[in-house]
Amino acid sequence: MKKTFVLLISGLSGSGKSTIAKKLQAHVPSLYHLEGDTVRKFFGGNLGYGEGARMESGRRLCFGAHLLSSVGIPVVITCTMGTPEIREKMKKMIKFEEIFMDAKIEDCIKNDPKGMYRQNLKKDPPNLRGVDLPFDPPEKPELTLYPYKETPEESLDKVKEYLHKKGYL
């Protein structure tokens, strides 16, 4: 490892963020994965999914990434980060490289690895990014992946190539 880094993999639920993070961990054993839902549960599950709670979740993720990266541990954060306001606030807290999982909501609903869509589409309102809440893709991510047009291995190769070019690997 040449220097530490923080990656933010953003995208809709079911777009493959955690899949890529876990595959990257196999190639970078010192990499720590901060996953949005796991961090929510760790802090007592006291956050809902309103805008304020989503902002607080992002703050907690950034704080954890800051602590880890400050002692030389590379970090990958996986979370939706569905609005420019949340991403801008995160950028003020910590420097990160953003990877965007460009997936259509229909594919994410069909995939639904955590059952979020099955469970929440029954509610009124569902309170889901890309369904009844806006999801604004990042304007200028450092890297865009297409999870339903390329294999996870092809996406991983793009991430590794990017990290090599930046001098992180």
Sign of the torsion formed by the C-alpha atoms of 2, 23, 17 and 139: positive
- Please give the average per-residue pLDDT across 2-29, as a whole number: 92
- Please give the average per-residue pLDDT across 64-72, as a whole number: 93
Looking at 37-41, 116-120, 145-149, which range is the least confident one?
Answer: 116-120
SS3 (DSSP) at 18:
helix
Its pTM stands at: 0.86
Q: Where are the beta strands (DSSP E) in 67-159?
A: 75-79, 97-101, 143-145
b/e per residue 100-134 (b: at least 16 CB within 10 A): bbbbebebbbebeeeebbeebeeeeebebbbbebe
Banded model confidence at residue 49, pLDDT cuts 50, 70, 90: low
- Please give the average per-residue pLDDT across 57-74, as a whole number: 90
Q: pLDDT for 100-144, tens place per residue?
A: 999 998 888 888 777 777 676 666 655 666 566 677 888 899 999
Q: Which tops the pLDDT comparison, 24 or 40?
A: 24
Both tokens of 153, joined, read: 């291995």
CA atoms within 13 A on the CB side of 89: 17
Domain-wise residue ranges, the chain: 6-104+135-163
Amino acid identity, position 24 = L
Banded model confidence at residue 68, pLDDT cuts 50, 70, 90: very high
Banded model confidence at residue 157, pLDDT cuts 50, 70, 90: very high
* Cis bond upstream, residue 125 (ω within 30): yes
Residue 2: the pLDDT is: 66
Residue 75: the pLDDT is: 96
DSSP class of 4: -
Q: What is the CATH number of domain 6-104+135-163?
A: 3.40.50.300
